[in-house]
């Protein structure tokens, strides 16, 4: 074989080999992260400049109580429990695949076992102040390949204010689905949380078809000779109504999850 033909053959072989080399994979698109707290709740948030990563801290701003509020998975994945008494306290990391993880610090308690697969909107713990914390809040992070990212909720980048009550976020996490019921009575108040002191968000003029997404215990309400301390989260009205005004004989509605 002549040198010219050999070089031509070698060039073709190298081109064929190059075509078999895998190209570097592109960055895995982030999940559609949602707020780490319950449907319809409004929280304010801030960022401390001393934070190692691009974290945001969330506290309630709708009249509800921060301490003990459910912490929800902002996207589906595998949850792992950790404890760091001198720092993050009780915390959960959710691995969403593709290099994406979310962190939830300072939990008062865990709601899922380590290694559990959790759905978006599933409760993973309760808000607390464990570890190095000055008060109850959700310390929340989004990481890609171990690097903290600017937090995005529903694809929208959040701001990074230096103090609370400058920016707010209302959750739509867990708002989908729900169970249908009818209310009874007139002038029924729907409140921001399950407490009589919580702000009124709307009023049901008369019997109304509602979709209940979850329920929880709150203040006791009395009406027509009945008492009940269970409240339902209404999907479309964006607030809670006492179960005493839900047209069902059970104080705690069957088949409806806990908020």
Tell me what pLDDT residue 27 has. 57
- Distance separating the N- and C-terminal Cα atoms of the chain: 78
- The answer to whether residues 239 and 202 touch, using CB atoms and an 8 Å cutoff, is yes
Distance CA 101, CA 95 (A): 5
Tell me what pLDDT residue 79 has. 97
- The answer to whether residues 92 and 107 touch, using CB atoms and an 8 Å cutoff, is yes
- The predicted model scores a pTM of 0.67
- The answer to whether residues 34 and 169 touch, using CB atoms and an 8 Å cutoff, is no
The distance from CA 238 to its chain's CA centroid, rounded to whole angstroms, is 16
Tell me what pLDDT residue 81 has. 98
**Domain 42-170: CATH architecture, name and number where available:** Distorted Sandwich (2.70)
Phi first, then psi, for residue 104 (nearest 5°) are -135, 105
Q: β-strands 226-234, 123-127: how paired? A: unpaired
Distance CA 36, CA 139 (A): 10
- Local structure of residue 131 (DSSP, 8 states): S
* Residue 234 structure tokens: 């209404």
Burial 30-63 (b: 16+ CB within 10 A, else e): bbebbbbbbbbbbbbbbbeeeeeebbbbbbbbbe
For the chain, give every domain's residue range. 42-170, 179-245
CA proximity to 126, closest of 69, 196, 207: 69
Q: pLDDT tens string for the chain (259 positions)?
A: 554 444 444 444 444 433 333 333 445 789 999 999 988 788 999 998 877 789 999 999 988 899 999 999 999 999 999 999 999 999 999 999 999 999 999 999 999 999 999 988 889 999 999 999 999 999 999 999 999 999 999 999 999 999 999 999 999 888 777 889 999 999 999 998 899 999 998 999 999 999 998 888 999 999 888 899 999 988 888 889 999 999 999 999 988 877 7
For the residues of 22-73, what is the DSSP string, one character each? PPPPPPPPPP----SS-TT-EEEEE--TT-SSS-EEEEE-SSS-STT-EEE-
**Two domains, one topology: 42-170 and 179-245:** no
Residue 125's contacts (CB-CB under 8 Å, 6 or more residues apart) are 70, 71, 90, 92, 104, 107, 108, 109, 110, 111, 112
The distance from CA 68 to its chain's CA centroid, rounded to whole angstroms, is 14
Tell me what pLDDT residue 29 has. 87
Class of domain 179-245: mainly beta
């Amino acid at each position: 074989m002549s040198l010219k033909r050999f070089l031509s053959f070698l060039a073709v072989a190298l081109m064929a080999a190059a075509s078999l080399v895998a190209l570097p994979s592109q960055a895995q698109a982030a999940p559609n992260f949602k707020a780490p707290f319950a449907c319809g709740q409004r929280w304010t948030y801030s960022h401390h400049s001393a934070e190692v990563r691009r974290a945001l801290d969330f506290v309630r701003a709708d009249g509800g109580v921060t301490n003990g509020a459910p912490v929800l998975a902002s996207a589906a994945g595998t949850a792992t429990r950790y404890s760091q008494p001198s720092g993050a306290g009780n915390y959960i990391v959710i691995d969403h695949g593709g290099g994406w993880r979310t962190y939830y610090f300072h939990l008062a308690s865990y709601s899922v076992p380590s290694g559990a697969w959790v759905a978006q909107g599933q409760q993973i713990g309760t808000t607390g102040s464990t570890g190095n914390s000055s008060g109850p809040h959700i310390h929340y992070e989004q990481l890609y390949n171990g690097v903290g990212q600017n937090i995005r909720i529903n694809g929208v980048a959040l701001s990074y204010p230096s103090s609370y009550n400058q920016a707010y976020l209302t959750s739509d996490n867990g708002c989908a689905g729900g169970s249908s019921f009818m209310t009874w009575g007139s002038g029924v108040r729907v409140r921001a949380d399950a407490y009589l002191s919580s702000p009124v968000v709307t009023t049901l003029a008369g019997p109304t078809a509602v979709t209940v997404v979850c329920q929880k215990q709150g203040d006791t309400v009395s009406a027509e000779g009945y008492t009940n301390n269970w409240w339902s989260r209404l999907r479309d009205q964006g607030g809670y109504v006492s179960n005493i005004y839900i047209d069902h004989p059970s104080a705690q509605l069957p088949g409806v999850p806990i908020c």
